[in-house]
């Protein structure tokens, strides 16, 4: 498991995984409340399985207004295409 991008929006931390890519085309982003990570209690989190294209994982995340932008690219080293999603 490789965390490749982190973004914070509305007191929630989102971590994007470069790999593994599930079912060959589903990248994973995990979102959790910041207070849970740093001294809070509970396990409130969400797991997103995003269809970003064959073999694409998350390469970076960035907060942008109301959105979180996702730079998607090859999960493995080597050639492949990149795309930006919101």
pLDDT value for 28: 96
Q: How many residues does the chain have?
A: 86
What distance in Å separates the CA atoms of residue 12 and residue 36, rounded to the nearest whole number? 9
Which pTM does this prediction carry? 0.87
Residue 74, classed as helix, strand or coil, is: strand
Q: What is the mean pLDDT of residues 65-71?
A: 95
Residue 8 phi, psi (nearest 5): -120, 130
6-60 pLDDT per residue, tens: 999 988 999 999 999 999 899 999 999 888 888 777 777 899 999 998 999 999 9
* Amino acid 51: pLDDT: 95
Confidence of residue 78 (pLDDT cuts 50, 70, 90): confident
Q: What angle do CA 41, 28, 19 make, to 5 degrees?
A: 115
């Amino acid at each position: 498991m490789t965390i490749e991008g982190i973004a914070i929006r509305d007191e929630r931390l989102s971590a994007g995984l470069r790999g593994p890519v599930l079912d060959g085309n589903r990248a994973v982003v995990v979102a959790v409340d910041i207070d849970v990570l740093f001294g809070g209690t509970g396990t409130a989190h969400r797991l997103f399985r995003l269809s970003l294209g064959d073999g694409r994982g998350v390469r970076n995340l960035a907060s942008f207004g109301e959105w979180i932008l996702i730079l998607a690219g090859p999960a493995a080293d080597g050639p492949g295409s990149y795309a930006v999603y919101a």
